[in-house]
Amino acid sequence: MKVGVAGCTGYTGFELLKLLEEHPDVTVTALTARNPSVIKSDPRFFFLYGDDCDAKINTLEDVNFSTCDLVFFATPHGVCMKHAKNLLNQGITVIDLSADFRLRDQDLFERWYGIRHIASDLLDRAIYGLPELNRVDLCGAKLVAMPGCYPTSIITGVLPLIEERCLIKTLIADCKSGVSGAGRSANNSTAYGEVAENFRAYGVNGHRHLPEIKQEISQIIRRYEETELHGNVDIQFIPHLLPMFRGLYSSLYVETKENLSYGEISELYRRRYGTEYFVHVLPTGMLPETRFVQASNHLHLYINKLAESKYVNILVAEDNLLKGAAGQAVQVMNLIFGIAETVGLK
């Protein structure tokens, strides 16, 4: 496959490019950067240096994606929507790692992201790129909206409960992420001196991933429930900034429809994810840690039934730049083109 990457200098774009350069079925033929000359002097990109380096790297305005089978957009919100329709009309598959096509409601997107959506007619065509949820729909998809890093951990964490009709009444998501989740742009709040030896919450009055989480969980419940009880699910989500570069940890507290035993819940999760290569339900006493999923596309889950409580506690660890972004995008690419999901990700 011939593949292009728009926005290869950000944290996600760079991780994506590294994976694609090692993928046995991919040739990266086009790259974009705001300032292409920077790449040629950046030691991170030494593996690109060669006779065709100049031909590969251009600005988004000057790039030629016409020979590509697929183009990834690892760009800020609002960029992909400007180019998606043209690429789709050329028969080129688009995988967007920004939020441009995650929310199906145009008004909701514009309210949360503060920009006008100029490709709203494509919103219903976009497939939500969580393989463990939408594997069948992703096979052969033309436009994919990749999930955010927090929604990946939360939705994966509660999916078996919803599918088994153990309808959640309340979901409390206490989540933490490394500073790379904020992107590479300079920002005082994410500077080393502000983050080191510090821990804080952010987005407490509403984070952009909240409507995405609500949308997808409601959609899943509608898929598996005949009733309209999904409207009564109370979802609380608060993200926190960890004093480290990469990694994401979610502590989920779920009030279930029935008072299920620990054994019943554990068996439910092991049955659901037993054949998933990248999702691992850890055994009793082995808690997830961010260091064990770092630089991998794996996600670790642990089920903890709180004593004398109506809540189930689900612990989730992932690498926010890989399973939460670039790695999962490559997993989706493999699905689209009929390649084994693990290729290029082991």
Among 95, 82, 86, smallest CA distance to 4 is for 95
Active centre residues (catalytic):
149
Total count of residues recorded for the chain: 346
- pLDDT value, residue 181: 84
- pLDDT value, residue 233: 79
Using 50 as the pLDDT threshold, list the residues of the chain that sit under it.
228-230
pLDDT digits (tens, 9 = 90+) for 281-293: 999 999 999 999 9
The pTM assigned to this predicted structure is: 0.94
3-class DSSP assignment, residue 66: coil
- 3-state DSSP of 174-220: EEEECHHHHCCCCCHHHCHHHHCCCCEECCCCCCCHHHHHHHHHHHH
- pLDDT value, residue 264: 87
CATH 3.30.360.10 applies to domain 150-318: yes
The rounded distance, in Å, linking the Cα atoms of 59 and 155 is 35
- pLDDT value, residue 43: 85
- pLDDT value, residue 53: 57
Pick the CATH number of 2-146+325-336 from 3.30.559.10, 3.40.50.720, 3.30.360.10, 3.40.50.2300: 3.40.50.720
- pLDDT value, residue 20: 96
- pLDDT value, residue 331: 98
- pLDDT value, residue 189: 76
Residue 127 contacts by C-beta under 8 Å, 6 or more apart in sequence? 134, 137, 138, 141, 143, 144, 145
Report domain extents, the chain.
2-146+325-336, 150-318
pLDDT digits (tens, 9 = 90+) for 122-148: 999 999 999 999 999 999 999 999 999
